[in-house]
Each structure stands twice: as C-alpha cells, then as structure tokens.
Amino acid sequence: SSNQMWGGRFASGPDAIMEEINASIGFDKKLYAQDIRGSIAHATMLAKQGIISSEDKDKIVEGLNTILSEIEAGRFEFSRKLEDIHMNIEARLATLIGPAAGRLHTARSRNDQVALDFRLWVKEELVKTDAALTDLITALLDKAEEHADTVMPGFTHLQTAQPVTFGHHCMAYVEMFGRDRSRVRHAIDHMDECPIGAAALAGTGFKIDRHMTAEALGFRSPTRNSIDTVSDRDFALEFLSVASICAVHLSRFAEEIVIWSTPQFGFIRLSDAFSTGSSIMPQKKNPDAAELVRAKTGRINGSLVALLTIMKGLPLAYSKDMQEDKEQVFDAAENLELAVAAMAGMVRDMTVRVDRMRAAAGSGFSTATDLADWLVREAGLPFRDAHHVTGRAVALAEQKGCDLADLSLEDLKSIHEAITEKVFDVLTVDASVASRTSFGGTAPSEVRKQIAWWRGRN
Ligand code: ARG
C-alpha cells in the first residue's frame, strides 16, 4: 500500500530496498524530544495566529506529551515503514487524537522540521561538550598546581630541549581546551537562529509568527532566508570541526601519555582504573584508554570529512543526501564525550613520577641554553659566539660521558677563560626553570599566574 503521509499520488508501496535505503528512523529516533518540543511550539503558534483552533491545539499538545512519555518509557513502537522520527510521531498522534493530528503539519515541511530538530540537538550537545571540557580543564588545573615545581624535560623534535615544569606542560593543554571551549561557545552563537517556518524552502502563505516559535524554542531569532534555512548544515559541520580540533588536542595528549607511561620514559603511572593487562604477558599494564582516545580522533575527523563531502555538491535547497548528516554527528558526539571523560579520568588518577622526570630533565645537556645565556650576561659575549662556545662544552661533556654540570671548572675554563665558578648556579634544572620568568614562561611563579588566570575563567 502507498504511504499514509505522502502516498496520494502513489499507486504502490516502496520496494524493500527502497524502504531500507530511505529510512532514517534507526538513528533519527534520537531526535524525538526535540521533534516533540518543536511540534508543540509550532502548534501553539498556529493556534495563537488563528490558523488552527485552540481545541485542536490542546489535543495535539496532549497527544504529543503522551507520545513523549511512551517513548521515554520504552513503550513506543518505531516503524521503518514510517521512514523517520517525524512521521513516526505524527502517525502515532493520529492514532491517539484522530483528525486533529492532520492539522499539525500546516505551514510546515519536514525540511524545516528536521533542520530545527537537529539544530536543537546539536546546540544541546555543545552545551554538554562545554561542561565536559570545563571538567577536564579543572582536572588539569589541579595537576598543574600540584606540580608547578616538578621539573621535566621539555622537548622539541621529541629530543630533550630545555627543562620545563610538569605544571607548565599541563597548562599548555589548558590553553588548548580553553580555546576549544571558546570555539564551542562561538558555534552555539552561530547556530542560534530558528529554522521552523521556512517550510519546504519558500516560506508559507499562512500568517505564521516565526519570532514567537524562535523565542519559545530558545533561539535568539528566526533564520532570515528560507532557502538557506533548509539547505544549510553549517551548524553540523561546525560541530564536527570544533569536535575534530578538540579531538586532535586530546590525541596529542593521549600520545604523550602513551610515551610517558612506557618503562623507558617512566614519567607517569596510570591508575589500574584506566589501564588494562595482557592475557599472555603478566608484567604488562597497557594505556588502552589513551590509545583509544587517540583512535577516536581518527573517527571524529573522518566524520567531518564525510559530511563536508556529502554537502559539497548539493544544489539548493534540501536534498535527501542531507539525511546522512545525523549519523556522522551522533557518532562524533558520542565518541568525543567518551574521549573527554576518559582523559579527565586519566589526568585525575595518574601518578607523576617526580624523580624520574627530574633525572630525565637533567640529561641530554638540557641546560646548554642556560650556559650560553650566562656567557652573554656575565662575560658580554654576543649570543652567536656564546652558542658556539657552549657547543664546544657540550662536545667535551659528551666525550667525557658526563653532563654539563659535571664538567670541572678547569674543563670549562679551557673552553672559555671568562667562565667562573658562578656558572654552576645556572646549570641545574631548578635554576634553569626558575630563571624563565618571562610572561608565559616555565618558571613556577609564572605557571602559578597562568593557573590563577584560568581558575577565574573556567
Ligand atoms: N528524514 C529526513 C532527513 O533526515 C527528513 C526530511 C525529509 N524531507 C524530505 N523532503 N524528504 O533529512
């Protein structure tokens, strides 16, 4: 038989494959609450404008609330024949309240309906993302505070560069997740316009009040262009780009956790709660959560590329291709939520191995720059000359198999006669980090300022 929603011009029903490729109910049932909220706002507006009677409106609202509780109680039977969440709900409404149900879709199309439902969902998801990131930042601020003085090697090219503090390193991630939060807020702001009332694409001749529905549904204003409204999926793309950038941050951190927790580095120990064992090697403790955070990033970035590619060739306005937007966003959202929560858990639970970090910080000639800076400051050498002299000191230490600070004063004097005993004050890792007091630098005093700045903003 033909479709009860749009079957007027059809003589027969769809092929089984048609039904399968066409149906979205398997995933868009997630939008049930947004769909019902949107329909209640729409029906209320229709009644207020005199387009439907207030008796019909009351029946519609009551029926929709019944459906809401049916779905939430798991008592609703979703049907693939009814394609999507919109038609599943409307068909049930007809069963519950009879002909009045048929008036709900006045001055509305599924095109503006789905744009509304999905936008409401994405907006809510972004609010959740913001809260999850706030929690992760709090965990990082606590760790950073605890380890504002903990010295570790800072790396470039993954080669020892200069000593930094672990607190400072944690605060680098706070900056990244802080920017992610600000991107989340901007994204919410961009999508804060209400699609309902654009109808199929051209608007409607009914005297609707789009400002009323926009306000009832918590939007700043209605969208301005009905064609754009039903063909725009920027809000979904923006969610996916914000999620992808955030996931990249999570993934870099996850990668560091994987490296740090190896016996070779041994900078941190993950808690039992966030690691797994091996079924064959009894000694193993694997950083699976970090690895999976790293992997989820591939998946989230893939969703962004998928939707960009789905959208890139679509003429205005709505095309059914756009139905494929939801699975990408739902999957990315679910996995981003998991990844952020797992990261917050790992940060809170990890044990920082202060001695291992300190020992590593002092190896690899990490205070060579401090020696060069000392020669500039105390002996008046131009930095390029100081760099060369220090390079020779490093070569000598390497040849002797010791660190810079283990060279004797005679050794150092043989390289440059201006070097005095006082140079040893700057060759320790503590002196090195304490001296980096430039704004944003690694000195514990500066790191504490960064922490205080973020405490007031997170
Ligand atoms: N299930 C559809 C989607 O997700 C709803 C909109 C359908 N509109 C249409 N004209 N067929 O995009």
Closest CA to 299 of 250, 347, 259, 253: 250
pLDDT of residue 282: 80
Q: Is 383 exposed, middle or buried (0-12, 13-18, 19+ CB in 10 A)?
A: exposed
> Which residues are bridge partners to 164 per DSSP?
152
Query: Residue 6's pLDDT band (boundaries 50, 70, 90)?
Result: confident
Token digits of residue 291: 């690895």
pLDDT of residue 364: 85
- Kindly report which listed range (51-65, 248-262, 272-286, 338-352) carries the lowest average pLDDT score: 272-286
Whether the pLDDT of residue 135 is over 80: the answer is yes
Query: How many residues appear in the chain?
Result: 458
CA distances from 323 to 172, 231, 302, 310 (A): 39, 11, 17, 10
pLDDT tens figures, 209-235: 999 999 999 999 999 999 999 999 999
Separation of 2 CA from ligand 1 center, angstroms? 18
Query: Residue 65's pLDDT band (boundaries 50, 70, 90)?
Result: very high
Arithmetic mean of pLDDT, 169-174: 98
pLDDT tens figures, 365-419: 989 999 999 999 999 999 999 999 999 999 999 999 998 989 999 999 999 999 9
Arithmetic mean of pLDDT, 114-128: 98
pLDDT of residue 281: 81
Query: Residue 1's pLDDT band (boundaries 50, 70, 90)?
Result: low
What is the position in ligand 1's atom list of the atom closest to the CA of 24? 1
From CA 150, how far away is CA 165, in angstroms rounded? 5
pTM above 0.90, yes or no: yes
For ligand 1, atom 2, the nearest C-alpha belongs to: 323
CB atoms < 10 A from the CB of 228, how many? 15
What is the position in ligand 1's atom list of the atom closest to the CA of 318? 10
Separation of 30 CA from ligand 1 center, angstroms? 15
Q: Is 364 exposed, middle or buried (0-12, 13-18, 19+ CB in 10 A)?
A: middle
Question: For residues 407 and 365, is the Cβ–Cβ distance under 8 A?
Answer: no
For ligand 1, atom 12, the nearest C-alpha belongs to: 323
Whether the pLDDT of residue 2 is over 80: the answer is no
What contacts 164, CB < 8 A, 6 or more positions away?
Answer: 151, 152, 153, 154, 433, 442
What ipTM does the predicted assembly reach? 0.97
Query: Residue 338's pLDDT band (boundaries 50, 70, 90)?
Result: very high
Arithmetic mean of pLDDT, 43-66: 98
What does the buried/exposed string (b/e) look like for 88-127 if buried means 16 or more CB atoms within 10 Å of the residue's CB?
A: bbbbbbbebbeebbebbbbbbbbbbbbbbbbbbbbbebbe
For ligand 1, atom 4, the nearest C-alpha belongs to: 323
Kindly list the protein residues whose Cβ atom lies closer than 6 A to any atom of ligand 1. Answer: 24, 28, 84, 110-111, 114, 318, 320, 322-323
For ligand 1, atom 3, the nearest C-alpha belongs to: 323
pLDDT of residue 284: 79
From CA 363, how far away is CA 177, in angstroms rounded? 31
Token digits of residue 380: 């008046």
Closest CA to 102 of 67, 54, 52, 33: 52
pLDDT tens figures, 9-50: 888 888 899 999 999 999 999 999 999 999 999 999 999 999
Whether the pLDDT of residue 118 is over 90: the answer is yes
Query: Residue 334's pLDDT band (boundaries 50, 70, 90)?
Result: very high
Token digits of residue 403: 């660190």
Active site residues: 157, 278
pLDDT of residue 305: 98
Question: For residues 93 and 131, is the Cβ–Cβ distance under 8 A?
Answer: no
What value does the mean pLDDT of the chain take? 96
Separation of 110 CA from ligand 1 center, angstroms? 6
Q: Is 9 exposed, middle or buried (0-12, 13-18, 19+ CB in 10 A)?
A: exposed
Separation of 24 CA from ligand 1 center, angstroms? 9
Query: Residue 83's pLDDT band (boundaries 50, 70, 90)?
Result: very high
What does the buried/exposed string (b/e) look like for 43-61 if buried means 16 or more CB atoms within 10 Å of the residue's CB?
A: bbbbbeeebbeeebbebbb
pLDDT of residue 411: 95
pLDDT of residue 289: 96
Residues of the chain above pLDDT 90, percent: 91
